[in-house]
Amino acid sequence: MILSKRPDIERFLAKPDPKVRAILIYGRDMGVVRDRANALAAKSVERPDDPFDVALLTDGDLDSDGGRLEGELAAQSLMGGRRLVRLKLSVEKASLDRQAAEALTAHAEGRLNPDAVFIVEAGNLGRDSALRKAAEKAENAAAIPCYEDEPGDVARLVRETLASDGVALDAPALQLFVSRLPRERGVARQEIERLALYLGPGSGRTASAADLEDFLGVEPEASLSDAAADAFGGRLAEAQAALRRARAEGEAGPAAVRAIGAYLGRLRRTLTLMRNGAGAQEAAKASGVFWKQEREFLRQVRAWSLEELDRLQPDVLAADRACKTAGAPDHLIAERLALTIAGRARRLGL
């Protein structure tokens, strides 16, 4: 069985199907894999950290003892409760993949201890993985792929983690903090915990975006964001200065073109929402515009149109392709694109 849709996964994690004995959780973001495995372990046994109820295995255990995994799955709980076997695979190795797949199949079919729960944590398994195929095919098993968190998932994680420490962020601060967090959940969680310490656990404080300025420091990609905003605002000299500053900070031409494309996307989304009846400020917030940039962004929204953005899109795509050509002067390509956009912005009255 495959559980790929988020609502199905959340329902399963909240209330696992008792018929499912084996669960494979895999994906590129090991932080999400670990969080889901921990949540499932907590639902599977009363004491997920008790060595009498739980067996924790790794790649090394399978390598050193080929029969260890099935032996643990066949064993009974020493305390008489339900048993949990967790396997963490951190390396890609065909022999380990096959060994885990065989054990999962046998356990799902009830040939070992049918009262035990088997949870496997793995990286980004391909379609040819025997373990993945076994989990997807077996009747009493589940395969849960883990994809990169969406901004909404990250925002929920921030709110819930901070709430557990008795602190919070207001809406603009939450938007700012989420936009600056890495998408790998393990690293993101560390940053959230660091923020909780900064705000003071148990203080009941609700921080604003201004309160976070000292904590966040200077955003590494701020120069690229500034360059895109200046280009669409018709300020060529400022856009060029920001691009050159970004280059000095180590940001290459392709990143600049992506930043310009992302800014165009925000303008397009805002204008589309407005065409469908939304107010300008409401549409800008829904498009992810930070409150400090809102006034300038809305000034640009009044000048640009969806038709003008459509005419500009081929230039952005061409610049993106050109930057990916071997030996291309990508910083000059990005500056030329900014020049093109700023020129059109000036003709629109910006």
pLDDT in tens, 83-125: 899 999 887 788 888 999 999 999 999 898 888 999 999 988 8
Strand, coil or helix: 218:
coil
What tokens were used for 77?
Answer: 């709980």
pLDDT in tens, 305-345: 999 999 999 999 999 888 877 667 888 898 999 999 999 99
CA–CA gap between residue 276 and residue 279 (Å, rounded):
9
Strand, coil or helix: 123:
coil
Helix (H) or strand (E) holding 169: strand 168-169
CA–CA gap between residue 230 and residue 218 (Å, rounded):
18
Write the CB contacts of 109 (distance below 8 Å, at least 6 apart in sequence): 138, 140
Q: Mean pLDDT in the chain?
A: 86
pLDDT at 4: 78
- Which residues are bridge partners to 88 per DSSP? 58, 121
CA–CA gap between residue 131 and residue 107 (Å, rounded):
13
Phi then psi dihedrals of residue 214, to 5 deg: -70, -35
**Angle 11-86-77 (CA atoms, 0-180°, nearest 5)?**
100
CA–CA gap between residue 256 and residue 185 (Å, rounded):
26
Q: If you compute the radius of gyration of the chain from its CA atoms, what whole number of angstroms results?
A: 25
CA–CA gap between residue 61 and residue 276 (Å, rounded):
58
Domains delineated in the chain: 6-146 (3.40.50.300), 151-216 (1.10.8), 222-347 (1.20.272.10)
- What is each CA distance from 304 to 169, 237, 315, 348, in whole angstroms? 33, 20, 16, 7
Res. 271 pLDDT band, cuts 50 70 90: very high
pTM, full prediction: 0.53
